[in-house]
Every structure is written in C-alpha cells, then in structure tokens.
Structure 1
Amino acid sequence: MSRPLLEGPGRVLTCLPARFMTDLADSLDTTRHACPLLDPFRERLQQEMIARSQQPPWALPDMLATRADLRLAWLEQLMHLWSPGQLALLHMSTRLAVVCGNQTGNIQLAMGNVLRQCRERLARREAFLRQRDMVQEAWTHAEKTLYRWRSGEFAAWSPAGRCYIALEELRWGPFGDAMRLSAPHERVRLKEMLRERATGLLATSVDAAPRTRHFYSRWLSTPSSAGLMDYKDTLSWLGAWSDGEHHPVSRSVTQTWQSVALGMPRLCSAARLVDALVEELFSEG
C-alpha cells in the first residue's frame, strides 16, 4: 500500500490545507479544466483530507466528485475548521464570485452564503493584519522557512523544486501577507532579501556560485528516494496554476512530465532561476 500523502510530502508542507481549499473552490467552476494526469493524486489527497477532517458519511469521494453542492458544503466546513489565511480567502472569494453568477436556485443561494462568509472573513483578516507588524512577521517567517530548506526538509525534491516549495510556503503565510498588503518600499526590501538568501541556498545545493550557469536538467533532476512519485506529483499539483507562457520557469520546475516551456532558459544560474520564480509567484498574489 502506498504511504499516505500527508505522511510523505504533506508532512512538511504547511501551505497544503490552504492550497487544498483553493483547489476545492476551483473545482466548483465547471469551465476550468484541471489536468487529468493529476486526478489520481487529487483523489488520494481528498480521501486523506476527508479522514483528517472527520467528515460525515455523505462526504464520500464518488459523491463529492459528482455533486457540487456537497463540495460547497465541505468547503464551508473546512473554512471553519482550518481558519484559512488571507491568500486562501482571497482566492476562494474570487472564484466563488465568478461561479455564483452562473448558478440558479438553491445552489446559488448556498454559494452566495459561503461567498459572503469568505468576504467577511477576508475583511476581518486584512484589518487584523494591518494592525500588526507584518514586515517583522514576514522576516521571521522567511528565516524559519529558509532554515527548513537549508536543514534538508525539502531534500526529496529537485534543487529548483526545493526553491519552489520554499516560495510556496512563504506565499501562503505571513511573508505573502506582507508582500500583498505592505507599503511598496517594504515589499521591495522583502523581495530583495528573499532573492539574495534563496539564491545562495539554491547555488549551494549544486555546489555552484550564484551566477554559475548549468544546463536546466541539473536544476530539475529529482534525487532517488522512497515515495519519489508522490513528491513529484505533489510538486506538479502545487504548480498546476502556472502557465507556460506567463510563468515558464514555475511551469518547467513543477510540471516535469511535460517538455520545458519555451521561456525556460536552457542554461541558467541560481540567480536567474530565483529571480524568475520570485517574480512569477509573488506577482500572482
């Protein structure tokens, strides 16, 4: 039997619950087409999340797959159970607003109710954050996350994958809050610090100087390890939002089952990769 995802890759991903909730919100939009190759991963993760969140008997994978009303009800329960952060609430509010306008009857009423809750929580969360020292909390969050990278917590992923994982962890937490809500000059300072520190860690992971160029395969090669495919699938799921045209480096780093995007440099340094990943992830919110 395969090892549970939450005991493998999910064990080190603090952003996984928030990312899962946004994925669940996206699934309510029938005009969006998720990658079918990731369906087995999504089903495994969903089953584990059902067990972890102790859902009622109706929350069976087959029923959730076919009933939007049940997915919506589950999303509402998870919102109360997991207290999502600012980015998750922002994403869910945006998605539900789009989908709600295309519904009728009871499902529209139910969706409107969840949308209202999301917006109210988002307003309270942003008001709370603006009363705090977001920049200091961002520095602390960055230090802790980069330490986790440096100490080997993300070692099961490729060198570039480790960088991507660290940035995703930051994007969904206090660092990302500060990047979205702080003053412009503070955002510049945070971004420059992150570039410098992440470049050093990525370069060290392949015993290179920050601007030493290597063929892209050196950065994307995943080390052999137990549960290798689970780690690769988790990375693909996290980066499924990326588009080859607008986010070529994120796409190439996460979707390694595809050909690398045209915009991915074939010869690249740690500095070049980090610059691109930071811009691609933090320009997305």
Structure 2
Amino acid sequence: MSSLLMEGPGRHVSCLGIKLMVDLAKGIHQTRPSRLAPHQQTIRERLTQELMHKAPLRQWAASGSLMHNDVRLLQWLDQLAGLLSPGHLAISLVADRLSKLQAQAGNDAGLHAQLEMLSTQFQQRMTRLETQRQKRDLPAEAHQHCEQVLERWRGGRYNAWSPAGRCYVALEELRWGAFGEAVRLGTADESETLLARLRQLASEQLADSVNASAGTRHFYHYWLTTPPAPGLMDYKDTLSWLGDWSDSERQPVAWSVTQTWQSVALGMPRLCSATRLARAMVDEVFMA
C-alpha cells in the first residue's frame, strides 16, 4: 500500500482535506496544547504535507516554517479553500474561528490585516451559500450525494475499516458535503426527513455489509474489529483522527467506533444491532 494517506486510506474519502482545513484554522494562534493524541497529530501532519504538494505555498514545507507562522498559514488556508471547495459546515467553522482570532491578534499588524481579509472572504462565502439556497433544490442534492456515498460503501471502497467504521466514514462524508449542507440550511421538516431516510439506509447497508438482518444483535467486538490489511494502522489512525471531535459521554457510539485505541465508552451497547448502531451514529454525527 502507498505510504501516502490520500492514496491509501483517504483515496475514497473526500472530506479529509476539508476537515484538515478546519483543524488548521482552529490551530492558528492556539495557546493551549493540542488535545490530539500523538497518532492523531501524526495523521494531521502527514495530510498537511500531502496537501502542500497540491496547493500553492508548498515551498514553505521544506523549511517547516509554515506551521509556525500564522500569517503564512492563513494565506495557505485561503488557497486550500479554493482548492477544496468546502461546503457550508467547513466555511462556517473557519469563519467563526477567524472572527474570534481577530480579537486576539493584539499588536501584530500583519496578522490582524490577514485575519480581517480572510475573515471577510469566508463570511462572504458563507453568505453566498446561504443566499444560493433559495435557487437550489437542496433535498435533491442531498439525495444525490447520499446515493453517491452509499454506492462507494456498497462497492467496497470502505472495506479496510471495521463494519461500524465504514458506516462512520460514510456519515462523515455526508456531514461535510451536500447532504450535511441540506440538513443545516433546510427547514426543520426537510432536515428530519433527510435524517430519517439516512437512518434507514445506513442501518440496511451496515446489516448487508455483514450479511445480517438489521435487527440481528452481535457483541460489539463484531462491529468494531478491523479486518487485517496492508497499512492497517493507517486506516485505524485515520478513522481515529476523523472522529477526534467525539466525546465518550456525549457521543459514546461514534467515540467507541473511532477511538478503538481506548476502552469502549460506558454508553456503547455491548450487544447491538446494525439498526441501533447506525441510528445512534447518525444522531451523534449530525446533532453534535
């Protein structure tokens, strides 16, 4: 297997770069130590290096100066936004972070100017997406996106992860893309209709992936065991980084599925069906 994450575990997961962009924005001018575990930090650093070869400013990668220079990192975020075409969730999270950073810029004129410019750009992107909502059929786009992701799941693109991990990766893809945008920007009825359908489809596909009925219960190890494969740890660590936002008390199923280097959460059912797992993950991922 390739040592590159985007040619290995990430080759079918388009949200990796978008989540990385948000992570990098959260890390700008961060005074507290990162809450990431060492293997999660390693995954983020590897993805950063890989994206530097696809976006401008990669000349700074060799010197290692990019991650220690807030102004340059902000410039690179602007380039990443153009490269990755992030959706409403990513844009709103970055815009919120940039807005908070403006109050912390202090006397650094260069940083303040860069923050003001980039914050304005991301606010404009967010406003544009929200305005365009009136001209778009968001539910139709969401259904199309959902089918695309589920087809990748059915086609075995996520098979190097555990059965429950495949479901989680699919949900992350949906959360960061058009499906998640429709859930965020749609009416309450539209959002609940989309999520109800997703609960059903995810339950059915998770059950099909292990040749079981949706209501068949198995011990949790059955759902969380990753099949042996070349580069196994890259897959497990990438999943852990994708789920680094989850909390063992508030999102016990998502946390247990992604953070398998830890003991499972107390709230993780020990005997569970595909229906129970998939529905819990849909709710935890989209209600976080």
TM over 0.5: yes
Instruction: Give 1:67's match in structure 2, choosing from 60, 66, 69.
Output: 69
Cα offset, 1:31, TM superposition: 3.3
Distance 2:63 2:19 in 1: 18
Counterpart residue number, 2:262: 258
Q: Is the 8 A contact 2:247 2:255 kept in 1?
A: yes
Counterpart residue number, 1:31: 32
Counterpart residue number, 1:4: 4
Counterpart residue number, 1:141: 145
Counterpart residue number, 1:108: 112
Counterpart residue number, 1:222: 226
Cα offset, 1:69, TM superposition: 2.2
Which shifted more, 133-142 or 38-47? 38-47
Which shifted more, 29-38 or 39-48? 29-38
Distance 2:57 2:44 in 1: 17
Q: Is the 8 A contact 2:217 2:273 kept in 1?
A: yes
TM-score, normalised relative to structure 1: 0.94
Distance 1:211 1:137 in 2: 30
Cα offset, 1:32, TM superposition: 6.1
Matched, 1:130 2:131: no
Distance 1:61 1:230 in 2: 26
Which shifted more, 160-169 or 42-51? 42-51
Counterpart residue number, 1:237: 241
Distance 2:134 2:43 in 1: 37
Cα offset, 1:266, TM superposition: 1.4
3-state SS of 1:268 partner: strand
- Structure 1 residues 268, 71: CA separation in 2 closer, same or farther (over 3 Å shift)? same
Partner deviation per Cα, 1:159-203 (whole Å, 9 max, x = no partner) = 000000111111111111111111111112111111111101111
Cα offset, 1:14, TM superposition: 1.4
The code of the aligned residue for 1:197 comes to: L
3-state SS of 1:12 partner: coil
Q: Is the 8 A contact 2:25 2:77 kept in 1?
A: yes
Partner deviation per Cα, 1:228-253 (whole Å, 9 max, x = no partner) = 11111111111111111211111111
Cα offset, 1:208, TM superposition: 2.0
Counterpart residue number, 2:93: 91
TM-score, normalised relative to structure 2: 0.93
Cα offset, 1:61, TM superposition: 6.5
3-state SS of 2:250 partner: coil
Matched, 1:18 2:18: yes
Partner deviation per Cα, 1:37-91 (whole Å, 9 max, x = no partner) = 1222222111111112142423447212322222222112212333321111011
Cα offset, 1:2, TM superposition: 5.6
Distance 1:2 1:166 in 2: 22
Q: Is the 8 A contact 1:47 1:61 kept in 2?
A: no
- Structure 1 residues 54, 115: CA separation in 2 closer, same or farther (over 3 Å shift)? closer
The code of the aligned residue for 1:91 comes to: L
Two-structure CA RMSD over aligned residues (Å): 1.7
The code of the aligned residue for 1:10 comes to: G
Partner deviation per Cα, 1:115-155 (whole Å, 9 max, x = no partner) = 11110111001211331010011111111111111111110
For structure 1, the residue ranges without an aligned partner over 5 or more in a row are: none
Q: How does 1:160-171 map to 2 (within 5 A)?
A: 160-171=164-175
Counterpart residue number, 1:202: 206
The code of the aligned residue for 1:78 comes to: L
Distance 2:187 2:219 in 1: 38
Distance 1:50 1:61 in 2: 12
Matched, 1:269 2:273: yes
